Amino acid sequence: MGLFEAILLSIITASTPLLLAASGELIAERAGVLNLGVEGMMLIGAVCGFAGAWATGSTAIGALCGIVAGVALAALFALAAIGLAINQVAAGLALTILGTGLAGLIGAPLVGENIAAAPHLWLPGLTDLPLIGKLLFGQDAFVYLAIGLMVGIAYVLARTRTGLILRAVGDDPASAHALGYNVAAVRTLAVLFGGGCAGLAGAYLTLAYTPFYAPGMTAGRGWIALALVVFASWRPGRLVAGAALFGAVSILQLHAQAFGLGVPSQLMSALPYLATVVVLVLISRIRRGGSVAPAALGTTFVPER
């Protein structure tokens, strides 16, 4: 296997959790809800996913546990930010603090345990093709799931009534409410979906990326996923490109260390975070004036009767 192919493969692996978490957050934000708890939901997904797979030996059950854990935390956020109209920024921060603490509590006995990593697809003939074989036909189930999810989201948002209602609630909740839609219910469902995706993204880290659990192993990926949604200007298609770019930066860091460039390893480790800042500035600068964010993003909505 050539180095080039190895790098491409590792970029896909590094991009998948970002893509999963960001696509869930994209749906929540299109409904007008800014959930800053992605990091917490990912971490709890990572630890619960690992616990599930460790107890049952099944990757699928592990993934399911991760999703359920993410949805549970998201439900707490929905109760606070939608049910009680709490400031979304503050509630999201609370969720990350709580999720990090809970994950540490649940994960403490699991540190040092091992599981079998998620199996990769194997199609005789196709997977053996040079260069593209492993890239297209040799990934684990999460990768295909993430891409399928992205296509589904793009279709639902652009082509279906469900997508139209979701966008209406995110752009103008007062009008959507006046038309008879239940803004709170739509937003809650969107937030729960986001939680499930974040949980799955976290589970990917422990089930496929590294088959073990370490405290704080999301290492800011939840926050990078949030930045990705801005980077993609809330469009699913651009999310794929963004995830690949961020994945590439984090992989570059590993390979640069292997090549032994005379650069401190800490500088290379800081690259994904610095890149996020640079990209945020560039993207926001280009779009200064004509904003493409959902119009009601981050605002609470309490109908006057």
Find the binder of another protein among 31, 91, 118, 201 (CB under 8 A).
Answer: 91
The correct pick among 130, 258, 266, 290 for binding another protein (CB under 8 A) is: 266
Q: Considering only CA atoms, which of 203, 191, 225 is closest in space to residue 19?
A: 225
Q: Does 94 bind another protein (CB under 8 A)?
A: yes
35/17 Cα distance (integer angstroms):
17
Residue 161 makes CB contacts below 8 A (sequence gap 6+) with none
Contact 15, 22 (CB under 8 A): no
CB of 98 to another protein, least distance (A): 3
Least spacing, CB of residue 89 vs another protein, in Å: 6
Give me 266's structure tokens: 């800490």
Shortest Å distance, C-beta 228 to another protein: 10
Q: Using the rule CB under 8 A, is 287 a contact of another protein?
A: yes
Q: How far is CA 240 from CA 235, 246, 301, in A?
A: 10, 10, 31
Site string for another protein, 153-172 (x = CB under 8 A): --------x---x-------
Binding string, 4-33, against another protein, x = CB under 8 A?
Answer: ------------------------------
Q: Are 131 and 5 in contact (CB under 8 A)?
A: yes
- Can you say how many angstroms the Cα of residue 41 is from the centroid of all Cα atoms in its chain? 9
Output the smallest distance, CB 60 to another protein, in A.
Answer: 27
DSSP annotation of 298: T
Judge residue 121's burial from the number of C-beta atoms within 10 Å of its C-beta, 0-12 exposed, 13-18 middle, 19 or more buried.
middle
Q: Is 261 in the site for another protein (CB under 8 A)?
A: no
Residues of this chain that bind another protein (CB under 8 A)? 36, 76, 80, 83-87, 89-91, 93-95, 97-105, 108, 161, 165, 179-182, 185-186, 215, 219-220, 223, 226-227, 230, 264, 266-267, 269-270, 273-274, 276-277, 280-281, 283-285, 287-288, 302, 304-305
